[in-house]
Structure 1
Amino acid sequence: MTKLFVQSKMLCEAGFPLHGFAVSGDYRFDGPAPQNEVVAQYRALRAALDTQWPLLRLQQVHGDGVVDAETALAALGQDDGWTSRPSLEGDALLSTGAEAVLGVLTADCLPILVACTDTGHVAAIHAGWRGLAAGVVRRTIRQLAAAGSAIDAMRCAIGPGICYHCYEVGDDLADKFPESVDPIGKNTGAWLLDLPNAAEVSLIGAGLSTVQIERLDICTVCAPEGLHSHRRDGDKSGRQLSFIAAR
């Protein structure tokens, strides 16, 4: 049987069993995959999770927008969100106890799942270089803290994304993430960017320590699982879904 998703050991041990990072199937409604196949993929995941809760997603725009789950639920109306496209824009979802599954789509960008052991609150973040530069991670952590969660009670899992060895960038991106790049040769203007490290730097900058962060270190470009990669496949690439629910 094909494995639908993998989980974070840290989040499981923290008491958040309803979470995961998809490693098979395509969850992109506006991509090349037939719509009936995408719908079937969402339904298969929901059945595997055995949940009646709705799925909340956003129209991701590579920014720093954080949307509360209650707001997203209101926008969803009577729909359950599992087989429809989202209407709200943003790049992070935050739940302070809503009975809903939070989801983000990625294909090289990083999915970051955050769980708070003291309050049970959670967040799902879509973090590419634009979102990291805009501060989406720090903003999400700040909002979780403002909702009552202690920063030292937070646990974060950084899911599948493009790895250091596959992410060649120019001077413009290197300047944005000086602590996460290495030059390729001398004076070439080419660099390798460690996006997971950049995300970890953002989390640490928000007040977390390294022991609160788990990196799955699965590359969407070169991992044998055959994950979706926009850099490798261009516009025809599919999307992975990563998800989490509050307890």
Structure 2
Amino acid sequence: MHIWHWQTWNDLPYLTCSLLEPWKHGFFTQQFAPRSPFQITEALYPLAQAYRAKQVHGNLVLAPSEMPYPLSDENLLDADGLISEQAHQAVWVCSADCTPVLIADAKTGQVSAVHAGWRGTAQKIVPRAIARLCSQGSQLQDLRVAMGPAIAGEVYQVSTRVAVEVGATVIDIDSESSLDANVKRLLELSHSPVLSDSTPGRVRLDVRRVNALQLEQLGISEEQVAIAPHCTYQDSVNFFSYRREKLKKAQWSGIVSG
């Protein structure tokens, strides 16, 4: 069982996960606003070079060598995933209901940070980030994946169309069948990421569970994956939630390569 710990930096709270203990990392709370990763990196490893992108709910994954230098909040490239290429690189994503995913390689020390909302998950952004890590020498059995605070499936109401679009990444969707028939197939899955909803044309969707299923289908074991027991929508003290507040505010999650 992977353990999540509350830590503090300058009396401000953030979360770490035992699975990623060898790496400096954190899932930071709304209390760190309005600091950017270029400032928050100091809380993890002051000597690290920080990298972030302009998130657009896509599935592009970038490496530092593909980004401007020096990087600033003014010259960001569009991407929703980052991977490191050498030691002491801090990669960051922001989220406010979407899933922040931090990935680390126990052998190479390289890391990745991914922003996986339903759109990115439907485009398999986490498997894409893993493919990039593997292209530079990672082996699947050496990866450690932690999914941070995000909106919980029990409170995340979406249209059946969205559920089927996301669900198509983990089961074969029958294009000849109706939306409802495909939703029924998703609902019948063991530990289904889709939960029923009393509103017609709506269901509840557990995006973190979909990502966990994508990882399982890649051949990554359950012991290599940790999911935070925190919901951004339900915890207004620690986390911004777009669904709750409809404000463009987000918290940061980052990890430093070894």
SS in structure 1 of the partner of residue 30 of structure 2 = coil
1:4 equivalent to 2:10? Answer no
SS in structure 2 of the partner of residue 161 of structure 1 = coil
1:146 equivalent to 2:135? Answer yes
Q: Residue 199 of structure 1 corresponds to which residue in structure 2?
A: 211
Alpha-carbon distance in 1 for matches of 2:11, 2:248 = 20
Q: Residue 33 of structure 1 corresponds to which residue in structure 2?
A: none
Q: Residue 170 of structure 2 corresponds to which residue in structure 1?
A: none
**8 Å contact 2:41–2:48 — kept in the other structure?**
no
Alpha-carbon distance in 2 for matches of 1:61, 1:24 = 21
Alpha-carbon distance in 1 for matches of 2:243, 2:252 = 17
CA deviation after TM superposition for structure 1 residue 224, in Å:
5.3
- Cα displacement string for residues 16-65 of structure 1 (whole angstroms, at most 9, x for unaligned residues): 1x1110023354xxxxxxxxxx24x6576344334122210001111110
Alpha-carbon distance in 1 for matches of 2:236, 2:94 = 20
CA deviation after TM superposition for structure 1 residue 4, in Å:
3.4
CA deviation after TM superposition for structure 1 residue 86, in Å:
4.6
2:66 to 56, 59, 71: 71
Alpha-carbon distance in 1 for matches of 2:99, 2:13 = 18
2:152 to 157, 160, 163: 163
Residues 76, 156 of structure 1: alpha-carbon distance in 2 compared, 3 angstrom cutoff:
same
SS in structure 1 of the partner of residue 144 of structure 2 = strand
Residues 47, 124 of structure 1: alpha-carbon distance in 2 compared, 3 angstrom cutoff:
closer
Aligned length: 225
Q: Residue 19 of structure 1 corresponds to which residue in structure 2?
A: 25
CA deviation after TM superposition for structure 1 residue 199, in Å:
1.4
Alpha-carbon distance in 2 for matches of 1:184, 1:46 = 41
**8 Å contact 2:38–2:50 — kept in the other structure?**
no
CA deviation after TM superposition for structure 1 residue 203, in Å:
1.6
TM-score, with length taken from structure 2: 0.81
Residues 86, 203 of structure 1: alpha-carbon distance in 2 compared, 3 angstrom cutoff:
farther
CA deviation after TM superposition for structure 1 residue 98, in Å:
4.5
Letter in 1 for 2:18: K
Letter in 2 for 1:68: A
Residues 43, 140 of structure 1: alpha-carbon distance in 2 compared, 3 angstrom cutoff:
closer
Residues 99, 86 of structure 1: alpha-carbon distance in 2 compared, 3 angstrom cutoff:
farther
Alpha-carbon distance in 2 for matches of 1:142, 1:42 = 25
Q: Which runs of 5+ in 2 are unaligned?
A: 1-9, 168-185, 187-191
TM-score, with length taken from structure 1: 0.84
* Percent sequence identity over aligned pairs: 29
Residues 88, 237 of structure 1: alpha-carbon distance in 2 compared, 3 angstrom cutoff:
closer
- Cα displacement string for residues 155-198 of structure 1 (whole angstroms, at most 9, x for unaligned residues): 0000011001210111111212234102124x822211111101
SS in structure 2 of the partner of residue 7 of structure 1 = strand
**8 Å contact 2:53–2:76 — kept in the other structure?**
yes
Equivalence map 1:211-222=2 (5 Å): 211-222=223-234
- Cα displacement string for residues 104-127 of structure 1 (whole angstroms, at most 9, x for unaligned residues): 010000000000001111100000
Q: Residue 181 of structure 1 corresponds to which residue in structure 2?
A: 194
Residues 147, 45 of structure 1: alpha-carbon distance in 2 compared, 3 angstrom cutoff:
same
SS in structure 2 of the partner of residue 25 of structure 1 = helix
SS in structure 2 of the partner of residue 223 of structure 1 = coil
1:116 equivalent to 2:105? Answer yes
Q: Residue 34 of structure 1 corresponds to which residue in structure 2?
A: none
